[in-house]
A = this chain, B = another copy of it.
Amino acid sequence: MTKMGVKPEKQSPKDAEAVNHKLLAQAGFIKQEMAGVFTYLPLGLKVLTKIENIVRKHMDKVGTEILMPTLTPKELWEKTGRLETVDILMKTIPANEVSRLKNDSEYIVSPTHEEIMTPLSAKYNLSYKDFPVSFYQIQTKFRNEPRAKNGLLRCREFRMKDLYSFHTSSEDFGNFYERMKEIYMNVFAELGLGNDTVIALASGGDFTKDYTHEFQTRLESGEDEIFLNKETGVAYNKEVAPEDVQDENKYERFNASEVGNIFPLGTKFSTAFEYDFVDADGSRKPVIMGSYGIGTSRLMGVLVEKFHDDKGIIWPENLAPFKVHLIDLRQPEKASEIYDSLVSSGVEVLLDDRETTPGEKFADADLIGCPFRVVVSEKSLAAGGVEVKRRNEKESRIVAIEELQSALG
């Protein structure tokens, strides 16, 4: 822990209001650089990477990973009309006079990639037999958000997985869209959010007159209001809820936080970029598109809002930055022996070797929230080994050092 260069703090930052911001900042997962813009510190980057690798694994089943740029040409945004209408769109200009004299071009800082993706897919001029195709990326996005708030839940700069699919018929699009609903639910299940996440109807916004679908996770602190029809099981975002929605016999109301969304884009972008394909019968038709987003850094915030107690975070085991939080209470040799042995067997261990009080070490272990706390102390050694406690249990037990590995199973 002394080698990490960062450490938990005594208190959460004064300007942090949301639980995820408070706990993640105090425990040393993130550092706010300005409103809505964060650095992911060693612990935070570990969790973010685990979330993104789970998302990646599921996306690889339906699409191919690429990486599109942040800076994109203004002309593409003019073509779709979004240069003037997207209210969170930013562009770059030179920051000073020397820079301006060298190159005063302006570029869009992309919040989403339909404008790049559509001409990219069109370029490769696929045969109708090669469809459907889909591409995804996991990458940083930018929004000129007026009120960045709630820690990782509403940022100006954030991490996102966006997938885009291309189809030659509405039927094919429909099948793919339904498959993506399943795949998204598999992602949220693996993240431990499956039982609390519903697919809610939402407005199509700029994209479509149809409904789009949001994946909403029940959360008291969530920004969205969801109405679930108790009879049909259909969930509605407030913005598209039926008139009789206040009828409590018919609808369950709850707060929720959006963890993903899927959009039928229709032919809006393929028409703007003249992306046609030649069908089997020789006729030209515009390609039908869909887009599918998951905010990966936002998910880290939602997970903390969901999994914590008054002492700190309680990470699901597959997302924890380390499996074991190893506390050395003045037994450096034994602790370092146990550390080496666990690490060499592939167990992820955070060693707290700081010169501080046991109380502070215990409090920080609860704050950081690794699944297992292992304490090496004179007392534990006298009792026959080390003290093992799960983060979500109250009682610890003594485990012989030879049996530690299997006790963590």
Contact = CB atoms under 8 A, between A and B. Distances in A.
Given A70-B142, A70-B157, A121-B5, A88 B99 contact: yes
A68 interface: yes
A109 B50 CA distance: 27
Interface stretch (A100-108, A211-219, A387-395): A100-108
A44, A92, A116 pick with most chain B CB within 10 angstroms: A92
B33 A69 contact: yes
A382 interface: no
Interface in A290-329: none
A40 interface: yes
A340 to B, nearest CB: 16
Interface stretch (A132-140, A170-178, A359-367, A398-406): A132-140
Indicate how many identical chains form the complex: 2
A144 B88 contact: no
A66 B41 CA distance: 5
A243 B135 CA distance: 55
Given A94-B89, A99-B88, A102-B87, A120 B69 contact: no
A176 to B, nearest CB: 14
B67 A88 contact: no
Contacts of A48: 67
A94 B3 contact: no
Interface string A108-140: 110000001000110110100110011100001
A222 to B, nearest CB: 23
Given A6-B124, A70-B142, A84-B96, 4 more contacts: A37-B69, A87-B102, A103-B144, A107-B156
11 contacts: A5-B130, A5-B134, A40-B67, A44-B67, A69-B140, A71-B157, A74-B95, A84-B96, A95-B144, A107-B156, A109-B109
